[in-house]
Amino acid sequence: MNILVTGATGFIGRKLCFELAQTGHHVKALCRNTEHPYLIRHPNIEPVKGDILLPDTLNKAMEGCTQIYHTAAMAKMWCRNQNDFLETNVTGTRNVLLAAQQAGIARVVYTSTCGVWGPTLKYPLTEDEPRIVGFPIAYERTKYLAELEVNKFVEQGMDVVTVNPSRVFGEGPITDSNTVSKMISGYLKGKWRIIPGDGGQISNYAYLDDVVNGHIAAMEKGLTGNRYILGGEDISFDQFFSTLAEVSGVRRKMVKLPQKLIKFYSHLEALKTRLTGLAPVFLPEFADRLLFNQKYSSQKAAEQLGYTITPFDEAMRRTVNYLKAH
């Protein structure tokens, strides 16, 4: 089967291309640079030059394809031009769906994020929960708007399934968007010595291999118009770093930084960015997120897709071994 994957050089997209290719599919890997170092080379992977903001390139890339995985996104904390979030995540998604509709693509799996729900009063959060706060984070806001675009196409009769990964980590390149693996790598190198707050704040961490398998299962078994949380275990910062120390054999003296101090620092970074245009290390809206837990349930994906979760300590061990070797 011919399958198009957008975002083929991204953390999820590149591994998804590989897994599909390994099972015998012909994968068209859409990327702006076909020589990109993160693009996995495989006999069944065909690099296709294109851009989700250039509809003509999408039409050509989709020729002969039956399925599409749309993983491409602007997932950075900050962009010099904030409109890039809207263009890539919303306009880009609309372009992909419109081209897929015109090409008669059988099914599209759209990669969203658990960030579309934000903090919640009910734990663990499920797909049916409404968002109860605003959208201070541009990435989350634009991914939510992209989901609204998906809904419009579904209402027109298009077959689209949405998956919502939580905080993804695993074997792969360290990038600005891959914040969890970046934190693990920093710890191993002795460059990360901070535990935010009192260490009790909880997030949900999803292992990359599980998330990729969840994408494939969503394509095979997902219900049209449905969303599926692809998560892992709910882990506190204390648990995160104690597990990291245990599986890596590397023990660091860590400093717990109060949330108020983190917030103060984030305002200084925001001021620096406004005055100089330099990229911030952290921003106030992300500091505010440390006040809330982010617990997610993958029960729906488990029941309908057969989604399974790799134990956190095992996922961390594999990630550490990969990072040590690279």
The number of domains in the chain is 1
CB contact burial 155-187 (16+ within 10 A = b; e otherwise)? eeebbbbbbbbbbbbbbbebeebbbbbbbbbeb
Neighbours of 153 (CB within 10 A): 21
Confirm whether 304 is domain-assigned: yes
Strand order in the sheet with 26-31: 45-49, 26-31, 2-6, 67-70, 107-111, 160-165, 227-230
Domain that includes residue 140, residue range? 2-170+206-234+294-310
275 inside domain: no
Asked if residue 319 is part of any domain, the answer here is no
pLDDT at residue 177 in the model: 80
CA distance 147 to 161: 10
CATH no. for residue 80? 3.40.50.720
Any domain includes 35: yes
Q: Name the nearest CA neighbour of 7 among 75, 94, 99.
A: 75
**Is position 119 within any domain?**
yes
Query: Do 127 and 113 form a contact (C-beta atoms < 8 A)?
Result: no
In order along its 326 residues, the chain shows pLDDT tens digits of 999 999 999 999 999 999 999 999 999 999 999 999 999 999 999 999 999 999 999 999 999 999 999 999 999 888 888 899 999 999 999 999 999 999 999 999 999 999 999 877 667 999 998 888 889 999 999 999 999 999 999 999 999 999 999 999 999 999 878 899 999 999 999 999 999 999 999 999 999 999 999 999 999 999 999 999 999 999 999 999 999 999 999 999 999 999 999 999 999 999 999 999 898 888 889 888 888 899 999 999 999 999 999 999 999 999 999 999 99
User: Chain centroid to CA 105: how far?
Assistant: 24
Answer whether 0.85 is exceeded by the pTM: yes
Is residue 54, in this structure, part of any structural domain at all?
yes
Q: Please give the pLDDT value at position 321.
A: 98
The answer to whether position 189 is within a domain reads no
Asked if residue 11 belongs to a domain, the reply is yes
Half-sphere exposure of 314 (CA within 13 A, CB side): 7
Peptide bond into 124 cis (omega under 30): yes
